[in-house]
């Protein structure tokens, strides 16, 4: 389990709009929003059954797919027909199905970790949390707490299978952010960067590959170490990156030019977010930088993916997405000030803060 980023669902779409196209009757717009769950659950079923992996070596008859997935063939045929309408599979001849280029991305080892991501964001455990959205709105308690009697990280620590999928999903969901952050912010001034709550280190590995002069520390919970080391080796940056296990509520290692908090603060309500920032302030030196990679919500009615994602934070993690003004408030409580906000080509920004 990692105490880092959670569910950045729109990172592959630059500044994704959330309003339907003009010209569609209002009742149709509303119904389209509601029926989106049908497609989500169909794709989830395909991911859970491993259909793309079965079809990766060529077309299979329906009966064989049903046998391999231990499903009822007529019912599975209805799912495959729906998936074909979405472009995920195709019916090459009557009751014989093959995968497509889109469907290939749902294979277990495909680049981008789409399968793990779908199993996480559309899986049954998160579905149960969303079933308690009204409870969250009425009480401020998360849907996770209502459904399972635990917060998200407590749930994941007790469910290794879901935790492993969750960690893989983080790589898939934040895949587009790394290149966007590197393009938007100049890291070349730094000799040493620490990624606080960095999980496997996908963002940090990309930064290191872009800046060969840099050395780094990946800081996260001790149980993440093996997966993080394996990822760094696979990325070819293991000689320049050290893993440091710990709890960012208790201590953050000092002595680095830049402190990176990527998709961390939005996991927590203000009091806990400020506690993390206080630990950063204890570690950081005058002249160093704190870099926060998160959505910065517009204060007006401008559509922004983060405004819907904020409901995910309310329901699943207990955290919150924030506007620039709200970031200024929590940073000030930990003796930081915003020096600049660097938008990226995704809906994420790099908030550059300095100690004061």
Q: Please identify every residue annotated as catalytic.
A: 266
Q: What 3-state class would DSSP assign to 237?
A: coil
User: How many angstroms separate the Cα of 291 from the Cα of each of 194, 200, 215?
Assistant: 10, 18, 16
Nearest alpha carbon to residue 83 among 73, 98, 64? 98
- Separation CA 218–CA 323 (nearest Å): 27
Q: What is the H or E stretch that residue 351 is in?
A: strand 348-355
Tokens 């259909």: give the residue.
Answer: 51
Q: At what angle do helices 114-121 and 26-49 cross, to 10 degrees?
A: 120
Nearest alpha carbon to residue 309 among 261, 262, 263, 248? 263
- Separation CA 258–CA 277 (nearest Å): 14
Burial of 330 (0-12, 13-18, 19+ CB in 10 A): buried
């Amino acid at each position: 389990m990692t105490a880092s980023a959670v569910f950045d669902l729109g990172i592959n779409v630059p500044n994704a709009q959330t309003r339907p196209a003009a010209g569609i009757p209002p009742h149709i717009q509303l119904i389209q929003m509601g029926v989106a769950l049908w497609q989500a659950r169909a794709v989830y079923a395909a991911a859970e059954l491993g259909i793309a992996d079965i079809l990766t070596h060529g077309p299979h008859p329906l009966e064989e797919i049903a046998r391999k997935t231990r499903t009822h063939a007529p019912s599975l045929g209805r799912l495959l027909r729906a998936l074909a309408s979405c472009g995920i599979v195709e019916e090459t001849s009557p009751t014989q199905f093959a995968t497509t280029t889109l469907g290939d991305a749902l294979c277990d080892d495909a680049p981008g970790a789409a399968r793990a991501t779908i199993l996480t964001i559309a899986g049954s455990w998160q579905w149960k949390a969303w079933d308690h959205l009204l409870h969250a709105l009425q009480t401020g308690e998360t849907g996770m707490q209502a459904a399972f009697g635990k917060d998200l990280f407590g749930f994941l620590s007790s469910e290794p299978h879901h935790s492993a999928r969750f960690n893989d999903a983080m790589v898939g969901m934040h895949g587009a952010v790394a290149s966007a952050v590197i393009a938007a912010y100049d890291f070349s001034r730094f000799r040493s960067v620490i990624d606080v709550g960095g999980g496997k280190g996908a963002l940090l590995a990309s930064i290191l590959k872009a800046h060969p002069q840099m050395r780094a520390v990946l800081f996260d919970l001790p149980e993440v170490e093996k997966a993080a080391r394996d990822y760094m080796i696979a990325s070819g940056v293991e000689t320049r990156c050290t893993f440091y296990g710990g709890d960012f509520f208790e201590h953050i290692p000092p002595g680095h030019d830049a402190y990176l908090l990527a998709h961390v603060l939005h996991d927590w309500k203000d009091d806990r977010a400020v506690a993390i920032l206080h630990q950063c302030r204890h570690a950081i030196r005058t002249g160093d930088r704190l870099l926060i990679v998160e959505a910065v919500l517009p204060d007006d009615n401008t559509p922004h993916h983060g405004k819907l994602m904020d409901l995910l934070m309310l329901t699943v993690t207990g955290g919150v997405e924030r506007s620039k003004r709200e970031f200024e408030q929590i940073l000030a409580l930990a003796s930081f000030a915003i020096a600049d906000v660097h938008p990226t080509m995704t809906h994420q920004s790099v908030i550059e803060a300095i100690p004061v």
